[in-house]
Amino acid sequence: MSDDRKRDDSDGNQPDRAAGSAPPGHLANLRQAEMQAGQPERVAVIGTIATGVAHEFNNLLTIVLGSLEQLHRQPLDERGCEQLERAEWGVRQAGRLARQVLSFVRREAGQPQQVDLNEIIRAFDKIMSHAAKDGTRLILELSQDRLPVCLDPGQLELALLNLVRNATDAMSGSGTITIRTAGHRMDGLGERQTVEVAVSDSGTGMPPEVVDQATTSFFTTKAPGQGTGLGLWMVKRFVATCGGKLDIDTAVGQGTTVKLVFPRAE
């Protein structure tokens, strides 16, 4: 070994890093970049699968609805008629949601229209109640004022359904979900008047590191097979197409409030 090499070793200098290797921090960043680069492809694949499933789901619902219509021709007591009407309502709502999923996957948003935010929520109250688990209390605290907004009502219903399901999952067994609406003169949307719907739960809340990723596609804290990680991502995307914004107010042990803020329709 030469004197120069001996001198380098004795000084504590290390040989150059092998070609192709990288610091651990760089490797972590590289893996994250690769995952993000692959997300559009994953979304496209899931969209294709969801389209096929929604079509088959609609076909099955058509069979069920036809059978329920046949039951109308048979004599039923008062309780039987009520149960039949409830079943028909559930099937029709399921079919409408399946069509909304197809529309969302195809990026074919329904025709935006000026509606009252409160009226949409009141009409959607029953199905949101069904989305909440047993032991969960759903409370509506709606503004007394009319809240005009321009959007696709079906997409708003799908967004609310996602938020109610997330709120239900955040509470173990029982709790309270509150849906509030309000109007504001200014709320960070270019000094425009806004309308807001907020979904709050009495669950465990989220730490800051989870909030930072909560609206990222495929991010979930649920056990494998219990969540897709697309719920909040889809909600945020819908609100953005309406010119609005999504805010999350939460703290560990203090529950979570997700606010959807839309420009007020003039």
Residue 237's CATH number: 3.30.565.10
Number of domains in the chain: 2
- Domain ends where: 105, 125, 147? 105
Domain annotation covers residue 8: no
In this prediction, residue 142 carries a pLDDT of: 95
Domain annotation covers residue 77: yes
Please indicate, yes or no, whether residues 133 and 149 belong to a single structural domain of this protein.
yes
Model confidence pLDDT, tens digit, residues 161-219:
889 888 888 887 678 999 999 998 876 677 789 999 999 999 888 888 888 877 776 66
In this prediction, residue 117 carries a pLDDT of: 94
- Domain ends where: 88, 105, 122? 105
Please indicate, yes or no, whether residues 57 and 158 belong to a single structural domain of this protein.
no
Amino acid at 182: A
Please indicate, yes or no, whether residues 159 and 244 belong to a single structural domain of this protein.
yes
Model confidence pLDDT, tens digit, residues 19-46:
444 444 544 454 455 445 455 565 566 6
Mean pLDDT within 101-120? 75
Domain annotation covers residue 35: yes
Nearest C-alpha neighbor of 121 from the set 69, 166, 159, 68 = 159
Render the burial of 54-86: b for 16+ CB within 10 Å, e for the rest. beebeeebeeebeebeeeeeeeeeeeeeeebee
Model confidence pLDDT, tens digit, residues 241-258:
899 999 999 888 889 999
Domain annotation covers residue 40: yes
Residue range(s) defining the domain that contains residue 53: 25-105
3-class DSSP state of 42 = helix
Please indicate, yes or no, whether residues 128 and 247 belong to a single structural domain of this protein.
yes
Q: Which residue has the higher pLDDT, 69 or 97?
A: 69
In this prediction, residue 227 carries a pLDDT of: 56
